[in-house]
Structure 1
Amino acid sequence: MATVEAFAIAGLKIWFWSNDHEPPHFHAKRDGEWEVRVHFLLDPSEMIEVCWSRRPPTSRTLKDLTALAEQHRERLLQQWESIHGI
C-alpha cells in the first residue's frame, strides 16, 4: 500500500494498492464509514465508485476528492505507474 503523495484531506486515508488492477485509481476511506475508488482519469462526474458504505460520504467530501484528483491527474498517474512498474 502506498499513500497518495499528490494531496491529502484531513480525516481520510488515501492510498494506492501496489498490486491493484487497471484502470488507474486510488482508494479513499473514512474509517468505519465508507470507502471509495477514485478513477482519476475519468470525467469528474464519473470518478467515484463506492466500495462500501455504512454512512455515505458527504457531497462536500466527494467534491473535494474529485476536484483534487482532477487538479493532480498527472502526478497521480506518475505515482500509479511508478508503483505498478510501468
Structure 2
Amino acid sequence: MPKVACFQIPGLTCWFWSNDHEPPHFHVKRDGEWELRVKFLESVDQMFELVWGAEPKAKLLRKITQAVAENRMNLLAEWEANVNQ
C-alpha cells in the first residue's frame, strides 16, 4: 500500500493499492469517518467516489481537489510506478 508522496493533507491518509484497477486513482480516508476513491484524471464533478462513510465536507473536498490540480502529473507518475508493476 504505497502512500501518495507528492502531497499530504493533515488528518488524511492517501494511498494507492498496488494491485488496483483503471482508471488511475488513489484512495483517501479520514480514520473512522469515510473513504473516497479519487479519480485524479477526471473532471471535478466525476473525480470523487465515496467508498464508505459519510460524505466529507465541501471545504475538505476543495483541499483535495486543489492538491490534485497542483500534482496531477506527479500522481500519474506515482500511479504508473506503484500500481500493477
TM-score above 0.5: yes
Moved beyond 6 Å, runs of 4+: none
State the one-letter code of the partner of 1:66.
T
* DSSP-derived class of the 2:14 partner: strand
| 1:38-67 CA-partner distances (Å, limit 9, x unpaired) | 0000012211100001x3311111111111
Q: Does 1:31 align with 2:22?
A: no
Task: Using the TM superposition, name which of 44-53 and 26-35 deviates more.
Answer: 44-53
Aligned twin of 2:9: 9
Identity rate, percent:
49
Corresponding pairs, count: 84
> Aligned partners of 1:59 and 1:31: how far apart in 2?
18
> Aligned partners of 1:37 and 1:82: how far apart in 2?
18
TM-score, normalised with respect to structure 2: 0.94
- Which runs of 5 or more residues in structure 1 are unaligned? none
- Which runs of 5 or more residues in structure 2 are unaligned? none
* DSSP-derived class of the 1:6 partner: coil
TM-score, normalised with respect to structure 1: 0.92
> Aligned partners of 1:66 and 1:15: how far apart in 2?
15
